[in-house]
């Protein structure tokens, strides 16, 4: 029987996996995550004139996100396996379903606890045909607008949404996107028998690059690091820039050991990467410190088991990696017996720093 990790590695070559985790998520494909590279747009003849149904998120999720509706039945709910997924606790696990037919798009409530509302009225069990610009409320907390526009118009909505959830400099996802989507990624991978790794990555002494060579060179270094992370973290994993020189890579992992191996690969590749050649004409050799948090496969969730807490804990591990000399990975497991407080890690795993890297113990480890 295949292990969960075997399935993930095989999925990297599966086009159904490489082109997105679900219709509610941004695409974690190589095309979508390559920073600032031209993308060819190929459309089928006549496709730009054929109306396509979609749902525009107005409240309760990533506001402005367009969910394209595929032919057939799609379930809506809090279950991360559903094509249309929302993390709000007001949304039932199996809340509603939407059926895209050749002649109509049909909405039906699935006896949800907080109801599905259309045109101001709570739906009964009977299916209802949607009309252009209908407002759909999935519980009181999620509001969607039904669109039936040309692909060109829907593409415009998607491009506008991209500007909201992507970092302008690197083209990677931003912090807002990560916070919204992490819990669903954790649940989705748990269904596949996998844990989830959060590698918080920070370039060591990056401030000196800006001070010595200027912000143009610093920006080029960040763009190149974003491209390297896209190469090292294939779909269904993804990377984001949280701010400054701090990045986050998220990827499925069967064990802490697997998560650490990939994080160590990132550290080594960064150390061997010639940064800044395009701008300077000579290479800059940099190192990175990584705080790695592994979310185990578990059926139970703790009260503080939320995306914001996970990032905070990974940040605590990153700080320890900096304090111990930089250029290393500090890893821990998101388990109650490993943590007595958000900033107090026990049972962490540390990789030794590479030979020849100087230790500046009189400097602030956070830089």
Q: Any idea which residues carry the catalytic annotation? A: 245
What angle is formed at CA 263 by the lines to CA 257 and CA 267, rounded to 5 degrees? 135
- Please enumerate in sequence order all residues whose Cβ is within 8 A of that of 229, keeping only pairs 6 or more positions apart, or say none: 172, 201, 239, 247, 249, 266
DSSP secondary structure of 309-338: HHHHHHHHHHHHHHHTTSSSEEEEE--GGG
* Tokens found for residue 36: 């600032």
* Tokens found for residue 240: 């984001």
Residue in this structure with the two tokens 């607008």, named with its chain if needed? 145
Neighbours of 17 (CB within 10 A): 18
- From the list 105, 107, 106, 104, the residue with the least C-alpha distance to 95 is 107
CA-CA-CA-CA dihedral for 319, 262, 16, 85, to nearest 10 = -30
Burial zone of 205 (CB within 10 Å; 0-12 exposed, 13-18 middle, 19+ buried): middle
Neighbours of 292 (CB within 10 A): 30
Residue in this structure with the two tokens 């080594």, named with its chain if needed? 268
Burial zone of 126 (CB within 10 Å; 0-12 exposed, 13-18 middle, 19+ buried): exposed
Burial zone of 101 (CB within 10 Å; 0-12 exposed, 13-18 middle, 19+ buried): exposed
d(CA 318, CA 323): 9
d(CA 118, CA 68): 19
Q: Classify 133 in phi/psi space as left (phi over 0), alpha (psi -120 to 50) or beta.
A: left
């Amino acid at each position: 029987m295949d292990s969960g990790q075997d399935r993930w590695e095989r999925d990297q070559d599966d086009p159904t996996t490489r082109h997105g985790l679900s219709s509610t998520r941004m695409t974690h494909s190589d095309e979508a995550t390559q920073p600032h590279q031209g993308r060819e747009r190929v459309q089928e003849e006549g496709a730009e004139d054929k109306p396509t149904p979609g749902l525009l998120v107005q409240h309760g999720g990533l506001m402005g996100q367009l969910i394209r509706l595929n032919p057939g039945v799609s379930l809506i709910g809090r279950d991360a396996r559903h094509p249309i997924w929302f993390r709000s606790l007001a949304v039932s696990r199996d809340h509603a379903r939407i059926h895209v037919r050749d002649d109509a798009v049909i909405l039906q409530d699935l006896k949800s606890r907080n109801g599905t509302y259309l045109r101001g009225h709570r739906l009964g069990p009977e299916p209802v045909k949607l009309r252009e610009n209908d407002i759909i409320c999935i519980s009181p907390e999620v509001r969607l607008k039904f669109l039936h526009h040309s692909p060109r118009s829907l593409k415009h909505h998607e491009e506008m949404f991209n500007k909201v959830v992507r970092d302008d400099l690197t083209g990677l996802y931003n912090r807002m996107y990560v916070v919204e989507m992490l819990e669903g990624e954790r649940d989705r991978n748990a269904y596949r028998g996998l844990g989830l790794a959060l590698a918080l990555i920070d370039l060591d002494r990056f401030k000196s690059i800006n001070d010595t060579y200027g912000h143009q060179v610093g920006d080029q270094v960040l763009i190149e690091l974003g491209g390297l992370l896209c190469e090292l973290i294939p779909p269904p994993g993804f990377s984001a820039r949280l701010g400054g020189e701090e990045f986050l890579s998220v990827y499925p992992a069967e064990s802490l050991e697997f998560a650490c191996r990939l994080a160590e690969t990132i550290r080594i590749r960064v150390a061997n990467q010639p940064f800044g050649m395009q701008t300077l004409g000579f290479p800059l050799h940099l190192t990175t410190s990584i705080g790695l948090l592994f979310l185990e496969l578990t059926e139970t969730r703790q009260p503080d088991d939320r995306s914001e807490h996970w990032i905070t804990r990974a940040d605590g591990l990153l700080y320890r990696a900096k304090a111990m000399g930089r250029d290393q990975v500090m890893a821990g497991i998101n388990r109650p017996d490993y943590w007595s407080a958000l900033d107090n890690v026990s049972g962490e795993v540390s990789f030794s720093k590479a030979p020849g890297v100087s230790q500046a113990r009189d400097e602030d480890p956070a830089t």
